[in-house]
A and B are shown apart, each in its own frame.
Chain A
Amino acid sequence: MNYFQLFDLPAQFELDLTELGSRYLALQKRFHPDNFAAGSERDRLLSVQQTANINDAYHSLKQPLLRAEHLLALRGLKISNEQRSFTDPVFLMQQMELREQLAEVSAQVDTEQAIADIEQQLLKQRKLLLNALHHALAAGTAEQDQVAAELVRKLKFFYKLQQELELIEQQLQD
């Protein structure tokens, strides 16, 4: 299913989130099961399926990483659920260092500062990668799509680290 088509938006990485949001609400208003609560069984079933699709599409386009994955899938490069290991030694080293820093947060005197430091690094890396992803996806060549796929794989690691950092922050607050 082409999520861009569903919202009648051009299939590209650049996206006006406000526009996406209001198109999403327009579709929800029309198809939500509440419109069919007194309707026939078939209409209710169709509406649940349709709204589930709309929700899924919105969820996927809203987040840059999922949007890039969807765009690549439309171009014939399926990378969700793949099992693949990295060979880029620089990237692996960087990941290991960041993981060590994460593990040591609770041992720091000023944990808040330590968390803020890591957060800064993660933000910076994400920005760099997202920027590169923009360019790669805009090129629209098979070669650049491969580059984009690799960037998405790397970004996944950074989003995962961000999640772990937030978890540590919560645990420290509790």
Chain B
Amino acid sequence: MALLQIAEPGQSAAPHQHRLAAGIDLGTTNSLVATVRSGEAKTLVNKAGEAMVPSVVRYTADGIQVGSAAQAAAVDDAENTIVSVKRLMGKGYQETLALAHELPYQFVEQAGLVAINTVQGVKNPVEISAEILATLANTASETLGGELNGVVITVPAYFDDAQRQATKDAAKLAGLTVLRLLNEPTAAALAYGLDSGQEGIIAVYDLGGGTFDISILRLRRGVFEVLATGGDSALGGDDFDQALVTFLQQRHGQQALSASARRLYQQQARAIKERLTEHAQTTYDFTADGQLVTGVVNRTDFTDLITGLVKQTIRACRQTLRDADLTTDDVATVVMVGGSTRVPLVRQLVADFFASEPLTSIDPDKVVALGAAIQANVLVGNKAEHETLLLDVIPLSLGIETMGGLTEKIIPRNTVIPVARAQEFTTFKDGQTAMAIHVVQGERELVEDCRSLARFELRGIPPMPAGGAHIRVTFQVDADGLLSVSAEEKSTGVQASIQVKPSYGLSDEQVASMIRGSMQYARQDMQLRLLREQQVEAERVLEAVSAALNSDAALLDADELAQIRQSLTVLQNVKQQDNTAAIKAAIEHTNQLTDEFAARRMDKSIRLALQGHKVDEV
């Protein structure tokens, strides 16, 4: 270990430091945090010694509880104790009403989005999820002895743009830097793939508490490609529990239940399900709403109850294989993820369908978090050389509304991301200066059957005769699967301004005001937070440009080089002071000076990447 770290001015010592990173599996039922230490991924335990933290948040008159403590109160204080909040992420108020009769919460509308009325006032799913994330991150920083530099958070492959955005907002609210949102099955494959180093087609069957995902991956020359994803965002072990609850309610003639009795039934059902994994039959004995509920359940009873649900997952497997142009014969390995894959019927039907015994050597509850930790360790920069490349796809098609309420697909599902596609629009009236565009996500023909993502208004189009203006709208999806849109009028080059109105997401201002309003930051100085953000960005710029100069200064002439060096010295100095605006200006100045340099380096990199490739061939 180095006793002294010597850094030249404008040259950061940071690359030599081990940075703290964690992988977070933000699950419907349980959440976990893991990190890589001494080259090995391990889940971290909280003060109570638990690795699996129940994804439950309870609001009390004088505080917030997360995890087991919250879950313990779930029966007695059902209205203020939110379980399975992940199901509500990025959801609109109207679409959640269908679920309302099964859930004991007081739902309210918050700018079209769903929120829950608690004893501490109205809380939305982003705020509730942020509590879980903050708790997990806290466990990590306490265990690792420092603030986290970044996290990788996993999401179901099926999550649409609004749900991914909500997850990222929750991380922001919890004060975390997100290195990447990673699909859960991809994370699981990463955990297994690095361990075994095998090649071929892998099917990841992920049956969690609230979601089912099937992903078909190809692992080849150290590259993961997601060939197709499918599944059902509203099917999981919770539904097995619910089937048992309904069965028991009928058996014991308890149709109408109080909120707490309903929760008790759910807890008992889950326990019965778990016991039936080991035993052919089990007994139960509890009191709900004053009535004694007791009896015996056989595994065959349970199998009858859930066969339909499990077969639904097999149908999704078949469909997804078809999307990937593959048959079960092509699949070399099947990976099992999620606690519900412990159910014997699930293992049996999956093994039957793929005609091969699925992999279960890594704990199915932990495998996703472990994979996320491995990826976080790479992305934060602790590994000099990138060994694996994760190519991901967009899970649902992106389209726009056209005449008659029909969708026109712009980016079809399973397109490799990042991706940018441009679409041209024209005006249909003389002198038209504005235009509305409705972006939707989904596979169906009709707009009303798809998910409304956002409505854009293009303004400032130069007035021209009808059909004269050609507006080029570019839809860009980044590596996290998040959409951004830009527009330009082609003949005049006028940048049309865009007003984004997310249908189900929160606007940047809303997120900012939530941060200001949250308990967590009420005590902190908002100014300090902004300053810290700019300082971190300044450090990143210094580091990036210094590294670029070290390798590619030859691409610059003496004058350019001197100017850039000068701007780095200024940035280095300004960074130490506490003037947020000055730091921001210095960063912008450096960026401006290095724009051309960055472009030249990009060209050089492309040539080198291909040249290295050609050398390999010889």
Residues of A within 8 A of B (CB): 6-8, 22-23, 25-35, 37-43, 46, 48-53, 55-56, 58-59, 81, 170
Give the chain B neighbours of A48 by CB distance below 8 A.
418, 476, 478-479
Q: A29-B386, A34-B389, A40-B540 are in contact. List 16 more A-B contacts (CB 8 A).
A: A22-B613, A23-B610, A25-B389, A26-B610, A30-B608, A32-B479, A33-B418, A37-B150, A37-B180, A43-B598, A48-B476, A49-B418, A52-B418, A52-B419, A53-B420, A55-B417
Please name the residue on chain A nearest to B547 by beta carbon: A39
A73 CB, nearest partner CB in chain B, Å: 14
A34 and B419 in contact, given A46-B598, A48-B476 (Cβ under 8 angstroms): no
Please name the residue on chain A nearest to B423 by beta carbon: A81
Query: How many residues belonging to B are interface residues under a CB distance threshold of 8 Å?
Result: 43
| B380–A38 touching, CB < 8 Å | yes
| B150–A52 touching, CB < 8 Å | no
Give the chain B neighbours of A40 by CB distance below 8 A.
537, 540-541, 543-544
State in angstroms the CA–CA spacing of A37 and B478 once bound together.
12
11 A-B pairs, CB-CB below 8 angstroms? Answer: A8-B610, A25-B389, A26-B610, A29-B609, A31-B605, A34-B390, A38-B149, A42-B541, A49-B420, A52-B476, A55-B416
A37 and B380 in contact, given A51-B418, A52-B419 (Cβ under 8 angstroms): yes
State in angstroms the CA–CA spacing of A50 and B391 once bound together.
14
| B150–A25 touching, CB < 8 Å | no
Give the chain A neighbours of B607 by CB distance below 8 A.
8
Give the chain A neighbours of B424 by CB distance below 8 A.
81
Give the chain B neighbours of A38 by CB distance below 8 A.
19, 149-150, 179, 379-381, 540
Chain B at the A interface: mostly helix, strand, loop or mixed? mixed
| A25–B379 touching, CB < 8 Å | no
| B389–A29 touching, CB < 8 Å | yes
A56 and B149 in contact, given A25-B223, A30-B609, A37-B380 (Cβ under 8 angstroms): no
Out of B390, B416, B543, B613, name the residue touching A23 (CB < 8 Å).
B613
A39 and B544 in contact, given A6-B606, A34-B479 (Cβ under 8 angstroms): yes
A32 and B419 in contact, given A27-B609, A48-B478, A50-B602 (Cβ under 8 angstroms): no
State in angstroms the CA–CA spacing of A107 and B390 once bound together.
46
- The answer to whether B378 has its CB under 8 Å from any CB of chain A is yes
Total of A-B residue pairs, C-beta within 8 Å: 102
| B417–A42 touching, CB < 8 Å | no
| B381–A34 touching, CB < 8 Å | no
Out of B180, B543, B544, B598, name the residue touching A34 (CB < 8 Å).
B180
Please name the residue on chain B nearest to A30 by beta carbon: B609
State in angstroms the CA–CA spacing of A49 and B607 once bound together.
17
- The answer to whether B18 has its CB under 8 Å from any CB of chain A is no
State in angstroms the CA–CA spacing of A151 and B605 once bound together.
37
The 5 closest A-B pairs by CB, nearest first: A37-B379, A52-B420, A33-B479, A40-B540, A37-B179
- The answer to whether B612 has its CB under 8 Å from any CB of chain A is yes
Give the chain A neighbours of B141 by CB distance below 8 A.
none
Give the chain A neighbours of B598 by CB distance below 8 A.
42-43, 46
State in angstroms the CA–CA spacing of A42 and B416 once bound together.
22
Please name the residue on chain A nearest to B417 by beta carbon: A55
A55 and B379 in contact, given A26-B612, A30-B605 (Cβ under 8 angstroms): no
A122 CB, nearest partner CB in chain B, Å: 17
- The answer to whether B37 has its CB under 8 Å from any CB of chain A is no
State in angstroms the CA–CA spacing of A52 and B381 once bound together.
23
| A43–B544 touching, CB < 8 Å | yes
| A28–B180 touching, CB < 8 Å | no
Give the chain B neighbours of A35 by CB distance below 8 A.
386
B74 CB, nearest partner CB in chain A, Å: 37
A59 and B415 in contact, given A32-B389, A37-B179 (Cβ under 8 angstroms): yes
State in angstroms the CA–CA spacing of A31 and B478 once bound together.
13
State in angstroms the CA–CA spacing of A106 and B476 once bound together.
40
B 382-440 contacts with A by CB, 8 A: 386, 389-391, 415-421, 424
Give the chain A neighbours of B223 by CB distance below 8 A.
25, 28-29
Please name the residue on chain A nearest to B318 by beta carbon: A173
B 359-395 contacts with A by CB, 8 A: 378-381, 386, 389-391
Give the chain A neighbours of B389 by CB distance below 8 A.
25, 28-29, 32, 34
Which residue of A27, A33, A46 has the most chain B CB atoms within 10 A of its CB atom?
A33
B410 CB, nearest partner CB in chain A, Å: 13
Give the chain A neighbours of B420 by CB distance below 8 A.
49, 52-53, 56
- The answer to whether B591 has its CB under 8 Å from any CB of chain A is yes
State in angstroms the CA–CA spacing of A82 and B609 once bound together.
36
Give the chain B neighbours of A25 by CB distance below 8 A.
221, 223, 389
State in angstroms the CA–CA spacing of A139 and B608 once bound together.
33
B 120-169 contacts with A by CB, 8 A: 149-150
State in angstroms the CA–CA spacing of A28 and B392 once bound together.
12
B111 CB, nearest partner CB in chain A, Å: 28
Out of B19, B418, B613, name the residue touching A55 (CB < 8 Å).
B418
State in angstroms the CA–CA spacing of A155 and B83 once bound together.
54
Encode contact with A along B534-577: 1 for CB under 8 Å, 0 otherwise. 00010011011000000000000000000000000000000000
B115 CB, nearest partner CB in chain A, Å: 31
B316 CB, nearest partner CB in chain A, Å: 12
Give the chain A neighbours of B612 by CB distance below 8 A.
26
| A34–B386 touching, CB < 8 Å | yes
State in angstroms the CA–CA spacing of A23 and B379 once bound together.
23
Encode contact with A along B445-472: 1 for CB under 8 Å, 0 otherwise. 0000000000000000000000000000
State in angstroms the CA–CA spacing of A119 and B126 once bound together.
50
- The answer to whether B501 has its CB under 8 Å from any CB of chain A is no
- The answer to whether B490 has its CB under 8 Å from any CB of chain A is no
B256 CB, nearest partner CB in chain A, Å: 38
- The answer to whether B532 has its CB under 8 Å from any CB of chain A is no
- The answer to whether B529 has its CB under 8 Å from any CB of chain A is no
State in angstroms the CA–CA spacing of A50 and B280 once bound together.
57
- The answer to whether B252 has its CB under 8 Å from any CB of chain A is no
Which residue of B380, B420, B598, B606 has the most chain A CB atoms within 10 A of its CB atom?
B606
State in angstroms the CA–CA spacing of A148 and B456 once bound together.
39
State in angstroms the CA–CA spacing of A34 and B602 once bound together.
16
Out of B179, B378, B613, name the residue touching A26 (CB < 8 Å).
B613
Please name the residue on chain A nearest to B420 by beta carbon: A52
Give the chain A neighbours of B390 by CB distance below 8 A.
32, 34
- The answer to whether B322 has its CB under 8 Å from any CB of chain A is yes
State in angstroms the CA–CA spacing of A136 and B607 once bound together.
31
Give the chain B neighbours of A49 by CB distance below 8 A.
418, 420, 476
Give the chain B neighbours of A23 by CB distance below 8 A.
610, 613
| B221–A41 touching, CB < 8 Å | no
Give the chain B neighbours of A22 by CB distance below 8 A.
613
| B609–A26 touching, CB < 8 Å | yes
Please name the residue on chain A nearest to B480 by beta carbon: A33
Give the chain A neighbours of B418 by CB distance below 8 A.
33, 48-49, 51-52, 55
Give the chain A neighbours of B544 by CB distance below 8 A.
39-40, 43
State in angstroms the CA–CA spacing of A116 and B416 once bound together.
31
